[in-house]
A and B are shown apart, each in its own frame.
Chain A
Amino acid sequence: MALRGASTGQLARSLRAAWGQQQSRALVTQSLPDLPYDYSELEPVICAEIMELHHKKHHQTYVTALNATAEKFAEADYKGDIATMIALQSALKFNRGGHVNHSIFWTNLVPPKDFEPPSGELLKAIESNFGSLDNMISIFSPKTAAVQGSGWGWLGYSKDSGKLVLETTANQDPLSTKGLVPLLGVDVWEHAYYLQYKNVRPEYLKNIWKIVNWKNVAERLEAAK
């Protein structure tokens, strides 16, 4: 077969065909996860109207856009159209990040009636890294309130150091961009709190601690170690 002058992609496909191998990669379609509670169950901390918009509209939009972008990316990849692949990368990051971040966020929250403070290994880790839960919150909240524009506040785990780290990310950048495993994320895009708290982001951040699902955070920490 004429391999001279073939592009790398053509070469690879020719070789695979020659060896009788077929390579196919199924495009995985993402979907909106269900919430583990009803829209109204996080009241009075987050009202039902916010929860419904946040889940059904905002998160759904990330999923829909992500699927559309991923399909375009796969097509460009197949054609070897690297210019399009590069042009799509920011949309991929934004929409995949949005999907990942919100999927984590929903599991990080629990109705106030089911709230339990952290315990066991998680509590030990919090105390060893921050002195106390209160101290951790006293750093987390102002740091997250200070995010410029849209973004997230995070409690993350560093696989390298074994430490718990407080971080923030801009827009929908996932925490993995900071080299950390996300344990707890708090959305501070205005859509997460505006209808109820308006510009008073610190009030939202004060109240969110009443609905953090520490069991879920503990599970994530265990899985990360």
Chain B
Amino acid sequence: MGTALAGQKLQFRSSVPCRCTRARTVFTRAELTLKPLPYSEDALEPHISRDTLNVHWGKHHRTYVTNLNNQIKDKPMANKTLNELIVEAWNSGSPTPEFNNAGQVFNHDFYWESMCPNGGGEPTGELKAAIERDFGSFDEFKTQFKAAGATQFGSGWAWLVAEGGKLKVTKTPNAENPLTNPAQTPLLTMDVWEHAYYLDVQNRRPDYISTFVDKLINWDKVAERFAEAK
């Protein structure tokens, strides 16, 4: 990206709450690139296979990026950040064609970073206290989060969000996400599109969900997002 941006003025927009994991500086961008996985393709084995990450990140996620770039090139949208694109394309609930791709690019970035090798276990510190305060117990959070993933009919996502100073579990269909709700800040997501788990556990979505919650959640990252949201 270097030479294309040489001479571009970098702006720091302090008024824009940055919920995404990209750099806080905002600049005119030629096109989006597929963000690398935060770990190698086999790093989440045996919980999520290398084959799954290879196709899920390398094909599905990459295709969303490619298709979005094709949709926005030579349009004013090309000068927006991903988060701005999502809100604009959401169009107050009548989403434009760019929404599905933009939403899915964000959702997958957020998902990869919501997991880590040797993840799972329990949160600590302020995040743990907030979970216990708002759900009653960590077990109750797990119950609600798993239920959200299991009862999202069709494709979609389960989320832990901060809203009005409280934590809650939500679920969204297809490409939707909490960025379109100004009251919510996403902290954690789990992909429940079938492509997220089908090669590994086929129809057994509940098994994937349990594995995600027990073995994969990157609680350090969730805590970081929680601290930023306050």
- Give A residues with C-beta under 8 Å from B: 53, 57-58, 61, 90, 94, 148-151, 170-172, 189-191, 194-195, 198-199
Q: Give the Cβ gap from B196 to chain A, nearest Cβ, in Å.
A: 9
A53 partner residues in chain B, CB cutoff 8 A: 202-203
**In the complex, residue of chain B having the shortest beta-carbon distance to the beta carbon of A192:** B194
Cross-chain contact B194 with A194 (CB below 8 angstroms): yes
Q: A149 near B153 (CB under 8 angstroms)?
A: no
Contact pick for B193, options A61, A190, A195, CB 8 Å: A190
Give Cα A194 to B203, complex, Å: 11
- Is A199 in contact with B173, judged by CB distance below 8 angstroms? no
Having A57-B203, A148-B175, A199-B59, one finds 16 other A-B pairs with CB under 8 Å, namely A57-B202, A61-B203, A90-B153, A148-B174, A149-B154, A149-B174, A149-B175, A150-B194, A151-B154, A171-B154, A172-B153, A190-B155, A190-B198, A191-B194, A191-B198, A191-B203
CB distance from A57 to the nearest CB of B (A): 4
Contacts of A172 in B (CB 8 A): 153-154
- A150-B194, A199-B63 known; A170-B203 Cβ under 8 A: no
Which chain A residues lie closer than 8 Å to B195 at the CB level? 190, 194, 198-199
Contact pattern, B 173-196, Cβ under 8 Å of A = 1, otherwise 0: 111000000000000000001110
| B153 CB contact (under 8 Å) in A171, A190, A194, A199 | A171
- Residues in B whose Cβ lies below 8 Å from that of A58: 203
Q: Which residue of B is nearest A150, CB measured? A: B154
* Set of chain B residues within 8 Å of A199, measured between Cβ atoms: 55, 59-60, 63, 195
Chain B minimum-CB-distance residue to A198 = B55
